[in-house]
Structure 1
Amino acid sequence: MSHAVPQAAGRQRAAGPGALLAALLVSVGSYALMQTMIVPALPVLTHELHTDTATAGWLITAFMLGSAVLTPVVGSLGDRYGHRRMLLVSLGVFLLSTAGAAFAPGVPFLIVMRALEGVSMATLPLALSIIREAMPADRTAGAFGLTSAMLGGGAGLGLVVGGLLVDAASWRWMFGVEIVLIAFSILLVLAWVPESPRHADKRATTGRLDIPGAVLLAVGLSSLLLAVTQGSAWGWGSARVIGLFVVALALFAALGAVESRHPAPLVDVRLLMHAPMLVTTVATLFVGAIPFLFYVLLPQLLQTPHTSAAPYGHGLTVIEAGLLLLPGALGTMVAGRLGPILGHRLGARAPMIAAMVLMTAGGALQALWHGSVLSIGLVFVLVGLGSGFGFAALASLIAKIVPREDLAAGNSLNTVVRTVGSAIGSQLATVLLQSAVAPGTGLPTESAFTQGFWLAGALGAAGIVLTVALRVHPYQRSAPAPRAVAAVGASAE
């Protein structure tokens, strides 16, 4: 069997599957780095841009909002007009907005650029769709796992690189390094990534674009994420937060009504109610939430000074904490490569079950055993491995459930759900840290960390039960919407 990637309408030299995968990994990696690289720089940005902590926090919130709003739309456009074409568009916008961030004159402009940078999250679903169409069948599963796991590995590396750059140079160098990486990824995509045959010469598509669905989804997701990310700052019982939750629910209800009547919906409601997709979506929330509990809790635990008021603290610097957690982040990539092998041998659910078991064990062991730096680093490796298995499982499950022609849109929505889960996980950790503070110190008590780790373990245990009930079979658009009970009882692929 030939392993050459098909040429795109004769205009592009065929590249091997290794070159194709490398181009996609660099593209997704550029997003993963930018997702977390700014986190260590927040205190520096607060000082140098003469702002406060709450405003600086919007540099993360804006990125998440932009990701949630833009990714489903870009994914849907990729299914219609070409995945390579929209990947290049996404990288182009990412490059311009990152350049704008590097030269930002102040916080408001930087926040806007960060929101536009959120389009980079679309690189993952677009890359997965390109893999499905252009990679040899025997290499597809492994490529899915490795590409998805790049999120965890890149995010962990971003924490370290961001800390090093901020410590040794200006915060603007974070964006400067990212500009070089994005430009390199664009060159690789132009050289090695083909357009799929069904899109290579397509300049138009049948059916109208789902503008009402896009607007409802964008505003609904923005309302939900804004409420989740700002709940701690504004107060969970405040009128603003409650109002945003109510608006989000109302808009999602309207979205369901509108999409059920649209001939080419941005969100296929029947697909979301297809039991395997519904279970996978809930599992996605857990895969997003559990690691972010650790991402918030562990740096705080490691960097808290060891004093009589905080005997649990370890007093590490930002860079030392990042380096300690790096093996766990790299474990994400290792598990992402092993996940497809496990799935091939034991079935489609096996990587997800492994993910939940490892993250459950990580949560319980971290709750019981966080008295030394070594124990924290070792246990976090379990969490990283679990996260990698989860990423690999999600990519494989979506490919088995979602029709090929809607794969980018399906992966985009799944990616957004994981982002929502990440926001929920980080806020749960923040609430725990703020709710248990030692008197007169302003530092969280050790019990706050312990409760957070037990919560991660409990979510993982719930994920085990959920995944064991999962039965995987593809969604058929022409068939009536399957009932959840019947579908859960169907045979696994």
Structure 2
Amino acid sequence: MSHSVPPSTGHRGALRPSALLTALLVSVGSYALMQTMIVPALPVLTRELDTDPSTAGWLITAFMLGSAVLTPVVGSLGDRYGHRRMMLVSLGVFLLSTLGAAFAPGVPFLIVMRAFEGISMATLPLALTLIREKMPPERTVSAFGLTSAMIGGGAGLGMVVGGLLIDSASWRWMFGVESVLIAIALLLVVVYVPETSRQRTGHTATPARLDLPGAILLAASMSALLLAVTQGSAWGWGSGRVIGLFVLAAVLLAALGTVETRRAAPLVDIRLLRHGPMFVTTVATLLIGAIPFLFYVLLPPLLQTPESAGAPYGHGLSVIEAGLLLLPGAIGTMIAGRLGPMLSHRFGARAPLFAAMALMAAGGVLMAVWHGSVLQIGVIFVLVGFGSGFGFAALASLVAKIVPRRDLAAGNSLNTVVRTIGSAIGSQLATVLLQSSIVSSTGLPTDDAFGQGFWLAGGLGVAGIVLTVALRVHPYESAGAPTGAVDTAKAGAV
């Protein structure tokens, strides 16, 4: 029998919703900063660690890969041992790996530490579950929107903070400063976050064992897919190695689907994808993960290339100047995250998602056509920032409306994993576009490479608009789901 833990602040006094939300926001924000803080440092790391751009790109990919694999594992353990406890474990591993990165002797060790840092992504689904369980009902929707918006806003702020630290100190200080923030998050969780009752997994009274086969298949399939995307230009897209990796990824994903549908408590509950609205929402999640990262990877070199380098697009900004130019877009992400629930309440659950896709599509098209001045880039990126914020708010709201309460942890876990995979694919696609069009005389990408990347972002946004129009939101009714959970989901459905 599961035992409910009374709502308390650790062991001290009554629950304080504002303090609880602050602790969760700082925890999620520490992850959000770290996912992009390293982006402006890639040229510096490539030079100082004596490596090549393709290898340096794995400092982003390893983080995303670690997130995709470790997040559902931690979520499953949260169902079994408690979500607060696993939040503390996640932040602890995050802190240790970040300190390890600060003292990394070389790029291989740094890539490994970045993979372990990926566990920090688990703070998002854990935070959403804690909000659902512990926040007053009247504050749940706004807390969902704010927490989800922290992801996009923190990602934008991460580029600014990373640029500032690189300009004024060593790249190692990025990880040192981040370690302080993680330590603060740990302390806040210890003091202000109560434990949830242990969740029932599947339809049994006690949580099932960890889905180790699912974790292995997920890690192997994502590694094969991302390695193929990363090395496609270097090895040749038609080479046996690249084709073999794509085939291997497809086979492993098929095996993952087979294994997960047969388990009572799967690591990634693919059965949710049998429900049409959840399937469409998941594909939209993939796009919302990919599109912003196309901009995150493409814009720094576009802005920082010196005008004297011989490229037609050089703007000659410093790292910090480029980060400050993108800061309004990051602020727009957080504002849109707060506006998302209001938009949903007034115009329906699909409205924030439609706004997200429309704004990011417009941003991609406009950036492809006009990126000749710093002012144009800054203004257009604000559109992308608002789109990203609406997207993050929409995903949290849609999953809550579609998935019954008993399956909410599984739905958030699936949503988080898919968005992380989208982010990894988006960053790698942008890297591949830049590396595949290097001008031998300058060693820099062509202007067409940036244009193609922005057109790709616009096209993905248009695809997202089509998906949104096709989406019909109604709750998923799993076999054996409690009537109350289904009724609750129906009450919020459109």
Q: TM-score, normalised by structure 1?
A: 0.90
Q: Which residue pairs with 1:418 in the alignment? A: 419
- 1:398-420 Cα shifts (integer Å, max 9, x gaps): 11222323323322221221122
Q: Which residue pairs with 2:404 in the alignment? A: 403
Change (3 A) 1:10 1:314: closer
**Does structure 2 conserve the Cα–Cα contact (< 8 Å) formed by 1:288 and 1:419?**
yes
Moved more, 224-233 or 163-172: 224-233
How far, CA to CA, are the matches of 1:56 and 1:446 in structure 2? Answer: 22
Shift in Å at residue 92 of structure 1?
Answer: 0.8
Shift in Å at residue 361 of structure 1?
Answer: 1.5
Q: Which residue pairs with 2:74 in the alignment? A: 74
Shift in Å at residue 133 of structure 1?
Answer: 1.1
**Does structure 1 conserve the Cα–Cα contact (< 8 Å) formed by 2:61 and 2:427?**
no
What percent of counterpart residues are identical? 78
Query: Structure 2 matches for 1:136-285, cutoff 5 A?
Result: 136-198=136-198, 205-285=206-286
Q: Which residue pairs with 1:487 in the alignment? A: none
Change (3 A) 1:138 1:319: same
Moved more, 322-331 or 362-371: 362-371
Q: Which residue pairs with 2:486 in the alignment? A: none
How far, CA to CA, are the matches of 2:292 and 2:154 in structure 1? Answer: 14
How far, CA to CA, are the matches of 1:448 and 1:208 in structure 2? Answer: 47
- 1:54-82 Cα shifts (integer Å, max 9, x gaps): 43333222212211111111112222322
Shift in Å at residue 198 of structure 1?
Answer: 4.4
Change (3 A) 1:366 1:446: same
**Does structure 2 conserve the Cα–Cα contact (< 8 Å) formed by 1:227 and 1:244?**
yes
Shift in Å at residue 456 of structure 1?
Answer: 1.6
Q: Secondary structure at the residue paired with 2:206?
A: coil
Gaps of 5+ in 1: 481-490
**Does structure 2 conserve the Cα–Cα contact (< 8 Å) formed by 1:309 and 1:438?**
no
- 1:380-403 Cα shifts (integer Å, max 9, x gaps): 100000000000001111112223
Query: Aligned-residue CA RMSD in angstroms?
Result: 2.4
How far, CA to CA, are the matches of 1:49 and 1:429 in structure 2? Answer: 22
How far, CA to CA, are the matches of 1:13 and 1:199 in structure 2? Answer: 24
Q: Which residue pairs with 1:23 in the alignment? A: 23
The answer as to 2:6 corresponding to 1:14 is no
Moved more, 359-368 or 177-186: 359-368
**Does structure 2 conserve the Cα–Cα contact (< 8 Å) formed by 1:79 and 1:405?**
no
Q: Secondary structure at the residue paired with 1:264?
A: coil
Shift in Å at residue 470 of structure 1?
Answer: 0.5
Gaps of 5+ in 2: 482-491
Q: Which residue pairs with 2:485 in the alignment? A: none
**Does structure 2 conserve the Cα–Cα contact (< 8 Å) formed by 1:152 and 1:330?**
no
Q: TM-score, normalised by structure 2?
A: 0.90
Shift in Å at residue 279 of structure 1?
Answer: 0.2
Change (3 A) 1:112 1:439: closer
Q: Which residue pairs with 2:488 in the alignment? A: none
The answer as to 2:445 corresponding to 1:458 is no
**Does structure 1 conserve the Cα–Cα contact (< 8 Å) formed by 2:72 and 2:413?**
yes
**Does structure 1 conserve the Cα–Cα contact (< 8 Å) formed by 2:60 and 2:424?**
no
**Does structure 1 conserve the Cα–Cα contact (< 8 Å) formed by 2:10 and 2:192?**
no
The answer as to 2:353 corresponding to 1:352 is yes
How far, CA to CA, are the matches of 1:230 and 1:333 in structure 2? Answer: 35
Amino acid aligned to 1:333: M
Query: Structure 2 matches for 1:433-444, cutoff 5 A?
Result: 433-437=434-438, 440-444=441-445
Q: Which residue pairs with 1:486 in the alignment? A: none
**Does structure 2 conserve the Cα–Cα contact (< 8 Å) formed by 1:33 and 1:157?**
yes
How far, CA to CA, are the matches of 1:435 and 1:111 in structure 2? Answer: 23
**Does structure 2 conserve the Cα–Cα contact (< 8 Å) formed by 1:228 and 1:423?**
no
User: How many residues of Structure 1 are paired with residues of Structure 2 in the alignment?
Assistant: 476
The answer as to 2:79 corresponding to 1:90 is no
How far, CA to CA, are the matches of 1:58 and 1:46 in structure 2? Answer: 11
How far, CA to CA, are the matches of 1:233 and 1:371 in structure 2? Answer: 29
- 1:308-352 Cα shifts (integer Å, max 9, x gaps): 943332111121111101110121111001001111111111100
Q: Which residue pairs with 1:484 in the alignment? A: none
Query: Structure 2 matches for 1:295-444, cutoff 5 A?
Result: 295-307=296-308, 309-437=310-438, 440-444=441-445
Change (3 A) 1:449 1:45: closer
How far, CA to CA, are the matches of 2:197 and 2:123 in structure 1? Answer: 20
Q: Secondary structure at the residue paired with 1:21?
A: helix
Query: Structure 2 matches for 1:34-49, cutoff 5 A?
Result: 34-49=34-49
Moved more, 422-431 or 162-171: 422-431
Change (3 A) 1:346 1:61: same
Q: Secondary structure at the residue paired with 2:229?
A: helix
